[in-house]
A and B are shown apart, each in its own frame.
Chain A
Amino acid sequence: MARGLNRRQIGVTEEMMATFGEIVLRMSHNHQIREGDPYREKDWDAIERHREMMGLSDAEIAERIGLSRNQVLYIRTLMERRRFRTGHYARLLELGGGKRFRTERFTPHLDHFRYSEDALELRAAMNYPPDRARDYVEKGWWRNETQRRYLERNAAERPDAPAFVLPDRTLTWKELRDTAERVARGLWQLGLRPGDVVALQLPNIPEFAIANLAVTWFGGVVQTIHMPYRDAELQTLINHGRSRAIVCMGAAKDWSAAGAALEMQPQLPTLKHVIAVGETPDGAIPFAGLVAGDPDMEIGHEPSGADPHLLLYTSGTTSSPKGVPLNSHNMLSNARMSAPEKGLTADDRILSAAPFTHLYGLYAFHLGIVTGMANLLLPAFSPPALAGAIEEMKPTAVWFAPAHAAAMTAAGLIGKHDFGSMKMCLFAGSSSPPAMLHALQEAWPGCRVCQLWGMTELQAGMFTRPEDGIGKSAVFAGRASPGSTVRVADPETGEERPRGEEGEIQIRGPMVFPGYLRNREANETAFTTDRFFKSGDLGYMDEDGFVAITGRIKDIINRGGVKFNPQDIENLLSAHPAIQMAAVAPVPHDVLGEQACAWIQLNPGAEAPDLETLCAFLMEHRIARNKLPEKLVVVDEFPMTPTRKIVKGRLKAPAD
């Protein structure tokens, strides 16, 4: 449209635009060139020579080119529109106050980083209910806290204090910060960007801490893979997590994770980089090379509290994996708010017997980051290694799974080593036999024995506090962690159960994950309509809000229509003098549908009791007859999770 006429009336075609567009623009005042200062000097010859250089009017251009004025007007204004680039106003935003625009430092907006499709999908999974988010923010539970911010703070405030400690090696906060930043630059140079998932399969060694903090330094997402996992699990988890890199051991005693990842790369379409700690196979990138770092590499991104931070997996290591995305809000608020309730400060020293690849171990890691205390490292668990580490490195707080303590007890290490540095210890990972906790409390009078109930989906959901005493801590997994609400509900109707009655434990709070990654089916049943997470754990709550765990819903045995929870049987069996650990689970039965089978692992040197003897032992404790196990299997060693929890799904049913 020009002067009220459209292009058909003016006679402009797209071809005419293509033919004359450039020359019209050049002859117009859109591009001006002036030589000397002819107007001020009234140099009329020069002014005449300048007419075209300084820009002609539409009528003058029309005369020069041989078009009508309306055609020039139309072509010029449309060319101006087509050449106009929007969004330049943002170039001004960082200027002023002494800051000037510098071409060499400017990145055009179109060239700025964009999240990959996978990263956006992961971000989309951080789908918290808006009313919960508002509540958590208003109450100050969710803040803009990130590992990087805490790391910077610790390095500034406690530069020479130990951050991660091995018996022969200490990494201070300053060293850790600087090393993590250098590795972050190295990862950035490899092309890793915010939102990219980086898998870590490392034991509790300083490289785990460095890699974790380096990945989250630039907004990457850490996916942990347990050390016992091999090719099949790696392939499933890396493919589901769409991990772009893996940091793993170059060589271990029986297996090279880096070698396996390299071999599997054709089947792992997203995996671009295999980074090896220690010995580096051909094709892998040496972690030590990243530590050397490129000081000139600039990282143009700092993560925020709401960014995804962790991608963990709960089960289904070879099929139907359940990916749990978590952000800094979830993890660090939970650690920040629970540290004072455990009496933990920057002056403490924490040791986790659980691996950092598991959220229970990571909880110790997160507590160290938010408080500034030292994390003492136990690369691999064995009863003597743990007992020795406690005696030698003198932690004030230790994270145990019941199986760790059971193994140390069985090995006669409790009275043999000095555990006097511990002022508190925590038991989690599986059900803790009360008798064992009482015995440990007695053996460690200066230490407050506590329990914790947590899950991959929520880190620390409940725990007993040191002041609660062993009376509560031996029986109950804890009371709600700061900011969370716990209830016990009927698993079928969803109605809240009266105090003391068993039901499913449901929890809501700032640390609860938003939902499983790419698993709509699981998400449909994971939450109640009021957004409580249905844990699948059974328990009851006492009048003071303490919750005892009584089992898993899926472990319930349905014997001919009569349902019962086998956990009390397991606890009694574990107290049998010949038995180190026990599990009871259903096995199929032609008539009853299911019947109970007991699996037992004996104490060293103990003689295996038969089923009849065991049932008599149980009857002495007045157990209902219908709950007695009807099958018995003695195992050499239970299949265990990395946190020393029996994997019931892998127990083999006895042959009839």
Chain B
Amino acid sequence: MPRRKAEIDKDAAKEAVIGYCLKKGALAAGVADMDAVNRICPPGYRPADIMPRVKSVIALGVGGQTQGAWTVPAKALGYFGSTETRAYSISYGLAFYIENKFGLRSIYCPPDMDPDAGPRVPLQSLKVHAELAGIGARSLAGDILLHPDYGYMYFASVFTELELEPDAPLADNPCPAPSCVNMYRAIKRTPCMKFCPVQCLDGEVDEETGRQKIMRYDMAACAEMTQQYETVPSAIMDAIRATDEEDREDALFDPDNKMLWYKMSVGSGGLLAQCFECMRVCPVATQAPQADPILRHEHRLVPEAAE
């Protein structure tokens, strides 16, 4: 039987929830302000559209690439870098944990796309949840969230009927890093803008304050690089429209497209998005104090071991 809400200590519950996330491997976790989420997200994309009695949105982040992963060739980075499934498994476990511990319904919020609106529209914005929960701030790299301590993380959300006190967003935005501001002053571009393979990033930095002024993101161009599932129908369409057998064969069986069929056949959907070049050159993503798992080990685990 669900416990009566009055019996639940909100502070203790939050401590238990956050503690669970960190114990299971999340680097950061927080609770988003539900009212703010509802004001930002348009109708149809608010938590209650998925779970009508939701009271809290919990966001958590896990570490992205290892330091070694940043050194591998770009074509292989997707294989080494993705820890998003770890984020999902923690949030999935958290939903069970809340139901078991507090007797209140919870769901792991699917990090997927809206089947009604197509693959460029998320079912829910994990970005908004994490930003409002104070575990990330929008960067010039197409609004990818960065954390001053943990750099670039993968996020997951849990919706629950458990009522929790919301956290505040981050007090400061780590983007742009001082070195990026220096570069901007020199060439009017930050590293992520300069090295994007499809030049989908643009923007302006306030050279006096060193803060973001304008972020421009061509998501359509980014999708051409990262969302390879969109290539699938295009490749098939190219094959259908091909005027001769050789072009048809190219459209379906060149190595790029054969990789698509391979990824689809083994169900490795995560590997359909493989471009990390803006993050590879981002000093926050790669050099934030605890973005580096090696440094993290020194900062966190070694002192723990000494205790």
Binding site for B on A (CB under 8 A): 3, 25, 28-37, 39-42, 44, 47, 51, 55-60, 73, 76-77, 80-81, 83-93, 95-97, 100-103, 106
Known: A86-B231, A90-B256. Is A40-B137 also a contact (CB below 8 A)? Answer: yes
CB < 8 Å neighbour of B44 from A33, A57, A76, A101: A57
Minimal beta-carbon separation of A340 from chain B (angstroms)? 39
A89–B214 contact, CB under 8 A?
no
| B182-223 interface code vs A (CB 8 A; 1 in, 0 out) | 000000000000111111000000000001111111111001
Listed A/B pairs (16) with beta-carbon separation below 8 Å: A30-B120, A32-B143, A32-B215, A33-B217, A35-B215, A37-B212, A51-B42, A73-B117, A84-B234, A89-B274, A91-B197, A92-B274, A93-B73, A95-B75, A101-B196, A102-B195
* Cβ-based interface call for B2 (8 A): no
Q: Which of the listed residues A34, A41, A80, A103 has the most CB atoms from chain B within 10 Å of its own CB?
A: A34
Minimal beta-carbon separation of A265 from chain B (angstroms)? 34
Q: Which of the listed residues A58, A60, A87, A89 has the most CB atoms from chain B within 10 Å of its own CB?
A: A89
CB < 8 Å neighbour of B74 from A77, A88, A93: A93
Told that A88-B198, A95-B75, A101-B196 touch, could you supply 20 new A-B pairs with CB distance under 8 A? A31-B219, A32-B143, A34-B138, A34-B212, A36-B211, A37-B137, A40-B173, A44-B39, A56-B42, A57-B45, A57-B117, A58-B121, A80-B220, A80-B223, A84-B231, A92-B74, A93-B75, A95-B277, A96-B72, A97-B73
A25–B131 contact, CB under 8 A?
no
Chain B residues with CB under 8 A of A40 = 131, 137-138, 169-170, 173
A35–B203 Cα distance when bound, in Å, is 9
The 9 closest A-B pairs by CB, nearest first: A96-B73, A95-B74, A92-B74, A96-B74, A91-B197, A30-B220, A57-B42, A101-B197, A32-B217
Minimal beta-carbon separation of A253 from chain B (angstroms)? 51
Chain B residues with CB under 8 A of A32 = 142-143, 215-217, 219
Chain A residues with CB under 8 A of B75 = 92-93, 95-96
B72 nearest in chain A by CB position: A96
| B142-186 interface code vs A (CB 8 A; 1 in, 0 out) | 110000000000000000000000000110010000000000000
CB < 8 Å neighbour of B256 from A31, A57, A89, A102: A89
CB < 8 Å neighbour of B224 from A35, A42, A88, A103: A88
A569–B141 Cα distance when bound, in Å, is 88
A36–B199 Cα distance when bound, in Å, is 21
B 268-301 contacts with A by CB, 8 A: 274-275, 277, 280-281
B218–A91 contact, CB under 8 A?
no
A101–B228 contact, CB under 8 A?
no
A101–B195 contact, CB under 8 A?
yes
B71 nearest in chain A by CB position: A97
A578–B8 Cα distance when bound, in Å, is 127
Q: Which of the listed residues A56, A73, A92 has the most CB atoms from chain B within 10 Å of its own CB?
A: A92
A34–B40 contact, CB under 8 A?
no
A92–B275 contact, CB under 8 A?
yes
* Cβ-based interface call for B249 (8 A): no
Chain B residues with CB under 8 A of A3 = 116
Chain B residues with CB under 8 A of A29 = 120-121, 219
Chain B residues with CB under 8 A of A83 = 220
Chain A residues with CB under 8 A of B238 = 86
B 34-71 contacts with A by CB, 8 A: 36, 39-40, 42-45, 71
A59–B274 contact, CB under 8 A?
no
Minimal beta-carbon separation of B233 from chain A (angstroms)? 7
* Cβ-based interface call for B27 (8 A): no
B168 nearest in chain A by CB position: A42
Chain B residues with CB under 8 A of A91 = 197-198, 225
B169–A41 contact, CB under 8 A?
yes
A54 nearest in chain B by CB position: B143
A321–B234 Cα distance when bound, in Å, is 47
Category for how many chain B residues contact A: 35 or more
Minimal beta-carbon separation of B71 from chain A (angstroms)? 6
B277–A35 contact, CB under 8 A?
no
Binding site for A on B (CB under 8 A): 36, 39-40, 42-45, 71-77, 116-118, 120-121, 128, 131-132, 137-138, 142-143, 169-170, 173, 194-199, 211-220, 223-225, 228, 230-231, 233-235, 237-238, 256, 259, 274-275, 277, 280-281
A34–B219 Cα distance when bound, in Å, is 13
B120–A80 contact, CB under 8 A?
yes
CB < 8 Å neighbour of B211 from A30, A37, A51, A89: A37
B215–A33 contact, CB under 8 A?
yes
A87–B238 Cα distance when bound, in Å, is 12
A60–B45 Cα distance when bound, in Å, is 12
Minimal beta-carbon separation of B260 from chain A (angstroms)? 9
A33–B216 contact, CB under 8 A?
yes
A47–B213 contact, CB under 8 A?
no
Minimal beta-carbon separation of A42 from chain B (angstroms)? 6
A37–B143 contact, CB under 8 A?
no
B173–A37 contact, CB under 8 A?
yes
Minimal beta-carbon separation of B305 from chain A (angstroms)? 33
B217 nearest in chain A by CB position: A32
A278–B293 Cα distance when bound, in Å, is 68
Chain A residues with CB under 8 A of B116 = 3
A88–B197 contact, CB under 8 A?
yes
CB < 8 Å neighbour of A92 from B137, B197, B219: B197
A51–B43 Cα distance when bound, in Å, is 13
Chain A residues with CB under 8 A of B259 = 89
Minimal beta-carbon separation of B245 from chain A (angstroms)? 15
A76 nearest in chain B by CB position: B118
CB < 8 Å neighbour of A31 from B39, B40, B220, B230: B220
B228–A89 contact, CB under 8 A?
yes
B39–A47 contact, CB under 8 A?
yes
Minimal beta-carbon separation of B292 from chain A (angstroms)? 18
A60–B198 Cα distance when bound, in Å, is 29
Chain B residues with CB under 8 A of A55 = 219
Chain A residues with CB under 8 A of B72 = 96-97
Minimal beta-carbon separation of A68 from chain B (angstroms)? 14
Chain B residues with CB under 8 A of A60 = 42
Chain B residues with CB under 8 A of A96 = 71-77, 280
Minimal beta-carbon separation of A59 from chain B (angstroms)? 7
A36–B138 contact, CB under 8 A?
no
A47 nearest in chain B by CB position: B40
Q: Which of the listed residues A25, A39, A80, A81 has the most CB atoms from chain B within 10 Å of its own CB?
A: A39
A44–B132 Cα distance when bound, in Å, is 13
Chain A residues with CB under 8 A of B224 = 84-86, 88
A303–B39 Cα distance when bound, in Å, is 61
Chain A residues with CB under 8 A of B233 = 81
A89–B255 Cα distance when bound, in Å, is 11
Chain A residues with CB under 8 A of B143 = 32, 34
